[in-house]
A and B are shown apart, each in its own frame.
Chain A
C-alpha cells in the first residue's frame, strides 16, 4: 500500500487503484490451479519435457513408419509395426532369449548372492570379505565385457584354457553357436558365456542387498527360534526368509529392470552373435533402431518392453506390499 504523500515523492510507485488491477490479475492466475499444483508446476514441466513428451512421442511413433530422407514425411501405418512382430523371427528369438536371460541370470544370481550373504553374515573379517565381493560391481559393464573377451579368447584366454583342460569344452571357442555340454536344452555356449559374465558382475549387488536385509532380521526372533528348538534350516526358512522376503523381491525387481535394458556387455562380448544366439530383445531393439534406423518398429518393440517391465514391476510391488498382518 502506498499513500499519496509517498506517491508525491516517487511517482513511479503505483497508486492503490492501479495496484488493484495487477492484484486482481494475479489472483485470477493464482485461482487457475490449486496451490499445491502451483508449487509442483516446475517439476511437472521438467518431467514432462524429459520423460512424458518423449514417451508420448514414442507411442505415436510406433504407429508410423519414420522417414529418414529429407523431404519425405512419416507414413501412418496403424498397428502394422506391432502385427509384423508376430512373424518377425529375430523378435521372437529375442523374446525367447530375454526370458532365458531372466531365468538364468536371476536364479543364479539370487541363489548365489543369498548364499554368499548367509555365509558372510557375522563372520570374522566380514568387512574385508564384503569389499572383496562387491568389487565386480564397481567395474563398468564395458570393461567387464572386454575382461571376459580376454578370458574366453581361444589363443590366450584363461577361462577357455580351463574349460578345455577340464574336458568341458569340445568346441573351438566358448563364444560359439554350440550347445553347452550335458544339456542340449539350454541356449548356446555363447549365451551361457554372456550369462556367466552377467552373474560375475551382478551377484555382488544381490549379495549386498540381501546382506543388508539379514542385518535387519530381529535378533530376538532368531534367539526365540533357537530356544523353541528350530535347527538352522528351519530357522532360515521360517524366520529369516520371511523377514528378508521384501528385500529379496526388491533385489529381483532391480535386476529384472536392469536386464531389460542390458546391451553393453553383449555389445562388447558377442555383438549378438554368433548367428543371433545372444541377441536378446534389448539388443535386437538397439539394432532395429540404431543400425537399421527403423524407428517406428523400434518404438513398438520398446513400448512392448516397457509394458512388460511395468507389469513385472507392479506384480512384484504387489507381492511385496501385500504382506499379511501389516
Chain B
C-alpha cells in the first residue's frame, strides 16, 4: 500500500514522444484509472511504473522512493497483463505460487499454500488449481492472472486492460468484481483502459490522456460533468457529446448563442462562468462550440418555447428502455437519448431544446472548456 507519484515524466521512443511531461499522483489505496484512446501513452506510463520501460525524463516514486533505477522485481508491484501472460507449462496453482516462490520476501511452503488457496477462494477458482491455463476459459484465465497478482499483497497493483478481451457480459460482471476486490483488498490500484465505461464505473479518480498528454485528472463525476476540453467531453459518455458550432454574441446583458437553426440566450450564471474562465466578448462575437450530451435534450413533437429548434428524425435505435434518436439539423447530425415510449419515426419533424443548466461551451480555437 503506497501512493504513486509521477513527476514530469517523459517517454520517448527515438523521436516519437509517447508520454509528454506527465505529472500525477495516485493516492494510497486509490483506484486510479488511466484512460485514453490507443496510442495515447497510457500503457507506456503503466510500463514505466512497473519498470518494464525506462523513464526518459522525470521521476516516478512508489511510496517515497524514487524508483527510476529500481528493477521491476524490487519495486514490490504486481501486474496483470492484457494477454494474462500465464505460464502455459505451469498449473494454475504453480502460476499463482510463482511470485511467492521467487519474490524478494521468502515464504514457507504452508504459507504459500494458504495464500494461494485464499486468493483462489476470493476469485472462485479453487476447483481449477490443478488445471493448466490452456484448459481454462478466457474469464477463468483472467481470474488466474489477477490471482497471481493478489497472492503477494504488493504495494501497488498495475492492470493493463485486464478485461478488454472478455465478452461483453463477462466484462460487465468483472467490472463489479474488480471494483469490489479493490475495496476488499484495500490496495492501491492503477488501471489502464481505453473503455470509458470501465473507467467511469470503477475508478476513484481518472486521468484522461491523449497523444501523450494528460488532459484531465479528476473523479468520474468531475470528468463527466466538468470536462476541461472538447477531447475529454467527447471521449467520456456513450453516445458521445454532441458538438455544435455556433457564435456567441452579446448585446448589453443579453448574451446569445446563435447558429443557423437556433438562438439560445445565456443565463447570468453561465455568463459568470464564462467570464470566470477569462471569456471575453469585448472584441465582438466569438466562435464557440456548444456541447450537449445526448440525454440533455428535451425532444417534443410540437414547438415548446421560442428557444426550441426543429430537426428531422434520421433514424431511431431502441435499446429496450432507452432509445437513441439521430436528428438532423442544418449542418449537424445530433444523437439524442430519450425514452423508448416516445412515438417518433424516421422522417418525423421534431422540436429540440437543450437543458440550459447542462450545456457545455468550448473555445473553437483552443478547444478548452468555459463550462
A227 to B103, CA, bound (A): 9
Question: Which residues of A lie under 8 Å from residue B85 when comparing CB positions?
Answer: 218, 220-221, 223-224
A141 to B102, CA, bound (A): 46
Within 8 A of B (CB), among A119-174: none
Question: Which residues of A lie under 8 Å from residue B103 when comparing CB positions?
Answer: 228-229
Tell me whether A242 and B89 are in contact (CB under 8 A).
Answer: yes
A223 to B91, CA, bound (A): 19
Within 8 A of B (CB), among A215-250: 218, 220-221, 223-231, 234, 238-239, 242-243, 245
Question: Which residues of B lie under 8 Å from residue A242 when comparing CB positions?
Answer: 87-90
Tell me whether A325 and B79 are in contact (CB under 8 A).
Answer: no
Question: Which of B79, B82, B87, B132 is A221 in contact with, Cβ under 8 Å?
Answer: B87
Any B CB within 8 A of the CB of A322: no
Any B CB within 8 A of the CB of A324: yes
A228 to B72, CA, bound (A): 8
| With contact pairs A218-B85, A325-B133 given, residues A234 and B102 touching in the complex (Cβ less than 8 Å) | yes
- Contact indicator per residue, chain A 5-19, by CB within 8 Å of chain B (1) or not (0): 000000000000000
A220 to B131, CA, bound (A): 21
Question: Which of B72, B87, B131, B135 is A226 in contact with, Cβ under 8 Å?
Answer: B72
A245 to B88, CA, bound (A): 13
Tell me whether B89 and A230 are in contact (CB under 8 A).
Answer: no
- Shortest A58–chain B CB gap in Å is 41
Question: Which residues of B lie under 8 Å from residue A239 when comparing CB positions?
Answer: 87
Question: Which of B71, B88, B99, B131 is A228 in contact with, Cβ under 8 Å?
Answer: B99
Question: Which residues of A lie under 8 Å from residue B148 when comparing CB positions?
Answer: 224, 228
- Shortest A8–chain B CB gap in Å is 71
Q: How many residues of A contact B (CB 8 A)?
A: 22
Any A CB within 8 A of the CB of B98: yes
Tell me whether A228 and B89 are in contact (CB under 8 A).
Answer: no
Any B CB within 8 A of the CB of A50: no
Any B CB within 8 A of the CB of A28: no
Tell me whether B134 and A326 are in contact (CB under 8 A).
Answer: yes
Question: Which residues of A lie under 8 Å from residue B98 when comparing CB positions?
Answer: 225, 228, 230, 238
| With contact pairs A223-B85, A224-B81, A242-B89 given, residues A229 and B134 touching in the complex (Cβ less than 8 Å) | no
Chain B residue, CB-CB nearest to A234: B102
Any B CB within 8 A of the CB of A24: no
Tell me whether B102 and A224 are in contact (CB under 8 A).
Answer: no
Question: Which residues of B lie under 8 Å from residue A227 when comparing CB positions?
Answer: 50-52, 72-73, 77-79, 158
Question: Which residues of A lie under 8 Å from residue B79 when comparing CB positions?
Answer: 223-224, 227
Chain A residue, CB-CB nearest to B103: A229
Question: Which residues of B lie under 8 Å from residue A225 when comparing CB positions?
Answer: 87, 98, 102
Within 8 A of B (CB), among A197-227: 218, 220-221, 223-227
Any B CB within 8 A of the CB of A323: yes
A153 to B238, CA, bound (A): 82
Tell me whether B88 and A325 are in contact (CB under 8 A).
Answer: yes
- Shortest B188–chain A CB gap in Å is 15
Within 8 A of B (CB), among A9-45: none
- Shortest A224–chain B CB gap in Å is 4
- Shortest B214–chain A CB gap in Å is 24
- Contact indicator per residue, chain A 69-83, by CB within 8 Å of chain B (1) or not (0): 000000000000000
Tell me whether A220 and B83 are in contact (CB under 8 A).
Answer: yes
Tell me whether B52 and A226 are in contact (CB under 8 A).
Answer: yes
- Shortest A196–chain B CB gap in Å is 35
Tell me whether A231 and B73 are in contact (CB under 8 A).
Answer: yes
Tell me whether A223 and B132 are in contact (CB under 8 A).
Answer: no
Question: Which residues of B lie under 8 Å from residue A231 when comparing CB positions?
Answer: 73, 102
- Contact indicator per residue, chain B 98-135, by CB within 8 Å of chain A (1) or not (0): 11001110000000000000000000000000011111
